Chains A and B, each alone.
Chain A
Amino acid sequence: MAGNEPNTRPRAPHLQVYKWGPAMAVSILHRASGDGLAIVGAGLFLWWLGAIAAGPDAYAAFVACIWHDPSPEISLFHQITNILGKVVLVGLTWAFFQHLFSGLRHLVLDAGAGYELKSNKLWSTVVIAAGVFATAATWLYILAEAL
């Protein structure tokens, strides 16, 4: 072995030697957000539908579990699920927008457009930023309505 002079030769692509880019991030986020919506989102939606169909008492129990328990003595279980429910709802809002925007990006890519390195990077970044922005805007709107 020679000295420690830095190696300026180009390196071959390698599974463990790469730099994260927005296109890779938006790809795995599409899968992660889709799976979250498919399992947690669809499950919560079915629970909600079932609670509406089952009547006012069942619906009140659903709301008391995932959003706010109006009883004076809130059980420890509901204290936890009230916080968890809001975290899950914010997460689902983000997953919805992320999956929607990156799904629209996929429809554009399906048409054969947007593969150039610069535009691919730009739109991947826009998708991630728009997902976070739309989630924040939605919850600011909900909080403003609640006050």
Chain B
Amino acid sequence: MGDGSHLGKVRGLGSSGHGSHHWLQQRLTALGNILLVGFLFVSLIRLPLGDHGAVLRWASNPMVALALILMVVSVFWHLRLGLQVLIEDYVHGPMRLLALVLLNFYAIGGAAYGIFAIVRIALAPAVAGPGGM
């Protein structure tokens, strides 16, 4: 953990000036989530969820696809911040570093998977019949 300098002794052990940045990002992504997850919730209630064609038509609308991509960014950013605090409260010692690394894998990997799935949906051929994809 560093070379024994003042900076080296504290690096990785606390917020070291990033606390208010974390706090503000959590609030801003929370506001984004209210709008975007609210939109998803209303959509899920109104969609015939058993009908793949109807769900696909909804999700491939450019405005919906854009909103879904923004939602994935806002949600995964917010959950990374929230789970980071959970880990910092309950996980101690070397396991904490491992947990934080795994959290970053989950947040970045999950967001990438979600965005890629939305892009696949939005750019899929419009009326692909059976075997037409």
Contact = CB atoms under 8 A, between A and B. Distances in A.
Nearest to A49: B117
A38 B87 CA distance: 13
A133 interface: no
A142 B45 contact: yes
B59 interface: yes
Contacts of B12: none
Given A37-B79, A63-B49, A52 B110 contact: no
B86 A50 contact: no
A60 interface: yes
B75 interface: yes
User: Chain B's interface: helix, strand, loop or mixed, by majority?
Assistant: helix
A86 interface: no
- Band of interface residues on A: 20 to 34
Contacts of A106: 30
B118 A49 contact: yes
Nearest to A35: B86
Interface string B17-50: 0000000000100100010010001000100011
A55 interface: yes
A52 B56 contact: yes
* Leading 9 A-B pairs by shortest Cβ distance: A38-B79, A49-B117, A53-B120, A59-B52, A53-B117, A56-B52, A53-B121, A50-B117, A34-B82
Interface of A: 31, 34-35, 37-39, 42-43, 45-46, 49-50, 52-53, 55-56, 59-60, 63, 67-68, 96, 100, 103-104, 106-107, 110, 138, 141-142
